[in-house]
Amino acid sequence: MKTKRILAFLLVLGVLACLAGCAGGTKTTPAPTEEAASTPAPTEAPAPTEEPAPAPEEPTEPPAEPQPEKPDTVEFTDDTGRTLTLPRVITKIAVSGPLSQIVVFALAPEMLVAVSNEWDPGAEEYFDPAYFHLPVLGQLYGGKGELNLEELLAAGPQLVLDVGEAKAGAAEDLDALTQQTGIPFIHIDANTESTGEAYRKLGSLLGLEDRAEVLADYCEETYARAQQIMEQVGSGRRKLLYLLGDKGLNVIARGSYHGEILELVGENAAVVDNPSSKGTGNETDLEQLLLWDPEFIIFSYDSVGAEVADDPLWQQLTAIREGNYAIAPFGPYNWMGFPPSVQRYPGILWLLQTLYPEQADYDLYSEVNRFFELFYHCTLTPEQYEKIVG
Amino acid sequence: MEKPRRGGLTLCVMGVLLIVLIFVSFLLGRYPVSPGPLLGVCLHKLLRGLGGLLAPVFPAAGSWGITPFWDGNMEAVAWNIRLPRILLSCLVGCCLSTAGASYQGVFQNPMASPDLLGATNGAAFGAALAILLGGNSRIITLSAFCFSILTVAAAFLISRVAGGKRVLTLVLAGIMVGSLFSAGTSFIKLVADPSNQLPEITYWLMGSLSGARWNEVGLAVIPMLIGLLPLLLLRWRVNVLTLGDDEARTMGVNAGRVRLLVILCATLITAASVAVSGMIGWVGLVIPHLSRKLVGNDYRYLMPASMLFGAAFLLAVDDVSRNLMALEIPIGILTAFVGAPFFIWLITRKGDAF
What interface predicted TM-score (ipTM) does this complex get? 0.83
Per the structure, the complete domain to which residue B42 belongs is given by 31-70
Q: What is the pLDDT of residues A342-379, one digit of tens each?
A: 888 899 999 999 999 988 888 999 999 999 999 999 88
Q: Tell me which residue of A332, A340, A338, A363 sits closest to A350, measured CA to CA.
A: A363
Please indicate, yes or no, whether residues A211 and A273 belong to a single structural domain of this protein: no
Nearest to B28 by CA among B279, B297, B316: B316
A85 reaches B (C-beta below 8 A): no
Among B12, B20, B23, B136, which would you mutate to test the A interface (most chain A Cβ atoms within 10 Å of its Cβ)? Answer: B136
Give the domain range for residue A202. 38-46+72-217
Together in a domain, A126 and A255: no
Asked, for residue B60, whether it belongs to a domain, the answer is yes
Report if residue A249 sits inside a domain.
yes
Residues 6+ positions from B103 with CB-CB distance below 8 Å: B109, B112, B113, B114, B116, B117, B263, B266, B284
Q: Is B334 part of a structural domain of the chain?
A: yes
Q: Is residue A372 part of a domain?
A: yes
Residues 6+ away with beta carbon under 8 Å from B200: A141, A142, B131
Kindly state whether A155 is in contact with chain B, defined as any CB-CB distance less than 8 angstroms: no
Count of domains forming chain A? 2
B interface test, pick of A150, A185, A338 with most B CB neighbours within 10 Å? A150
Whether A150 sits inside 8 A of B322 (CB atoms) is yes
Q: Are residues A200 and A255 in the same domain?
A: no
Local confidence band at A8 (pLDDT 50, 70, 90 cut-offs): low
Question: How many angstroms away from the CA of A148 is the closest CA of chain B?
Answer: 6
Rounded-to-integer distance, Cα B39 and Cα B290, Å: 34
Q: How far apart are CA A84 and CA A182, in angstroms?
A: 11
Indicate the pLDDT class of residue A190, thresholds 50, 70 and 90.
Answer: confident
Asked if B210 and A144 come within 8 Å (Cβ–Cβ), the reply is yes
Task: Answer positive or negative: Cα dihedral of B145, B150, B155, B159.
Answer: positive
Beta strands in chain A (DSSP E): 73-77, 83-87, 93-95, 140-141, 144-145, 159-164, 185-189, 239-244, 250-251, 267-268, 282-283, 296-299, 325-327
Within-domain flag for A18: no
Q: Which residues contact A133 (CB under 8 A, 6 or more apart)?
A: none
Task: Map residue A86 onto helix, strand or coil.
Answer: strand
- Report chain A residues whose CB lies below 8 A from the CB of B327: 136-138, 146-148
Instruction: Kindly state whether residues B279 and B153 are assigned to the same domain.
Output: yes
Predicted pLDDT at B353: 52
A contact residues 93-112, partner B, Cβ 8 Å cutoff: 97
B161: contact with A, CB 8 A cutoff: no
Residue A4 lies in a domain: no
- Give 3-state DSSP helix, strand, coil % of chain A, rounded to 5: 45, 15, 40
- What residues pair up with A282 in beta bridges, in sequence order? A251
**Maximal CA-CA distance, chain A:** 89
* Chain A residue numbers touching B28 (CB-CB < 8 A): 17, 20-21, 24
Q: What is the pTM of this model?
A: 0.80
Q: Is A363 contained in some domain?
A: yes
Same domain membership, residue A292 and residue A201: no
What integer is the mean pLDDT of A68-82? Answer: 80
Q: Is B121 inside any structural domain?
A: yes
Last residue of a domain, one of B17, B45, B70: B70
Q: What sign results for the dihedral spanned by CA atoms B75, B80, B81, B83? A: positive
Instruction: State phi, psi for A80 to the nearest 5 degrees.
Output: -95, 0
Q: Are residues B211 and B182 in the same domain?
A: yes
Cα within 13 Å of Cα(B248), Cβ side? 18
Confidence band for A61, pLDDT divided at 50, 70 and 90: very low
Dihedral sign from CA coordinates of A95, A96, A97, A100:
negative
Among A170, A186, A217, which residue terminates a domain? A217
B160 and B227 inside one domain? yes
Residue A7 lies in a domain: no
Model confidence at A293: pLDDT above 50? yes
Percentage of residues in chain A having pLDDT higher than 70: 80
Interhelix angle B166-191/B119-132, rounded to 10 degrees, is 20
Q: How far is A16 from chain B (nearest CA, A)?
A: 6
Q: Could you tell me which of B316, B311, B229, B296 has the C-alpha nearest to residue B15?
A: B311
Region A185-210 average pLDDT: 88
Same-domain pairing of B202 and B295: yes
Compute the count of residue pairs across chains A and B with CB atoms less than 8 Å apart.
Answer: 220
Inside any domain, residue B79: no
**Residue A70 has what pLDDT?**
61
CB contact under 8 A, A2 and B6: yes
Q: What is the pLDDT of residues A297-326, one digit of tens each?
A: 999 888 888 888 888 888 888 899 888 999
Residue A16 reports pLDDT greater than 60: no
Do B261 and B296 fall within a single domain?
yes
Same domain assignment for residues B50 and B152: no
Q: How far is B113 from chain A (nearest CA, A)?
A: 22
Q: Are residues B180 and B103 in the same domain?
A: yes
Q: Is residue A328 part of a domain?
A: yes
Alpha carbon separation from B195 to A160, A279, A360, B192, B198 (Å, rounded): 20, 7, 31, 9, 7
Q: B206: closest CA among B323, B339, B84, B321?
A: B321
Residues A210 and A238 in one domain: no
Instruction: Name A76's bridge partners.
Output: A84
pLDDT at A6 over 70: no
Write down the pLDDT at residue A341: 77
In total, how many domains does chain B have? Answer: 2
Question: DSSP alpha helices (H): ranges in B192-282?
Answer: 197-206, 214-233, 235-241, 245-250, 255-277
Choosing from A155, A189, A217, the residue where a domain stops is A217
Boundary residue ending a domain (B70, B94, B122): B70
- Co-location of A272 and A173 in the same domain: no
**Are A273 and A209 part of one and the same domain?**
no
A383 and A276 within one domain:
yes
Q: How confident is the model at residue A41 (pLDDT cuts 50, 70, 90)?
A: very low
Q: Which residue of A has its CA nearest to B321?
A: A20
Q: Is A163 helix (H, G, I), strand (E, B) or coil?
A: strand
Cβ–Cβ gap A23/B6 under 8 Å: no
Task: For residue A42, give how far its alpha carbon lies from the nearest alpha carbon of chain B (Å).
Answer: 6
pLDDT at residue A17 greater than cutoff 50: no
In this structure, the answer to whether residues B47 and B92 fall within a common structural domain is no
Backbone angles phi, psi at A185, to 5 degrees: -105, 125
Same domain for B93 and B41: no
Tell me if residue A160 falls in helix, strand or coil.
strand
CATH at residue B300: 1.10.3470.10
CA pair distance B213, B216, nearest whole angstrom: 5
Q: Is B322 in the same domain as B186?
A: yes
User: Which pLDDT score is estimated for B226?
Assistant: 95
Q: What is the pLDDT of residue A215?
A: 93
Residues of B in contact with A61 (CB under 8 A): 68, 72
Tell how far CA A387 is from the center of its chain.
23
A238 and A385: one domain? yes
Residue at a domain's end among A172, A189, A217: A217
Neighbours of A2 (CB within 10 A): 15
The answer to whether position B25 is within a domain reads no
Residues B89-136: tens digit of each pLDDT: 999 999 999 999 999 998 888 888 898 899 999 999 999 999 999 888
Q: Please identify, among B70, B101, B130, the residue that sits at the C-terminal boundary of a domain.
A: B70
Residues 321-380 (A) with a CB less than 8 A from some CB of B = 338-340
Q: How far apart are CA A316 and CA A366, in angstroms?
A: 37
Which of the pair, B241 or A157, is modelled with greater confidence? A157
Residues A199 and A240 both lie in one domain:
no
Residue B24 in domain: no
What's the pLDDT at B351?
Answer: 54
Which of B170, B182, B183 is CA-nearest to residue B121? B182
The residue ranges of chain B whose pLDDT is under 50 are 1-4, 354
Could you tell me if residue B293 is inside a domain? yes
User: Three-state DSSP class for A25?
Assistant: helix
Same structural domain, B92 and B66: no
Q: Are residues A321 and A238 in the same domain?
A: yes
Q: What single string gives the DSSP state of each residue in A99-111?
A: HHHHHHHHH-GGG
Q: Are residues A250 and A108 both part of a single domain?
A: no
What pLDDT sits at residue A171? 86
The SS3 assignment for B171 reads helix
* Residues contacting residue B350 through CB under 8 Å, at least 6 positions apart: none
B264, part of any domain: yes
- Which chain A residue is nearest to residue B328, measuring alpha carbons? A146
Q: What three-state secondary structure class fits B279?
A: coil
Instruction: HSE, CB side, 13 Å, CA atoms: give it for residue A315.
Output: 4
Which CATH number do you get for residue A142?
Answer: 3.40.50.1980
Of the ranges A13-17, A382-386, B227-231, which is most confident? B227-231
In this model, does residue A68 exceed pLDDT 60? no
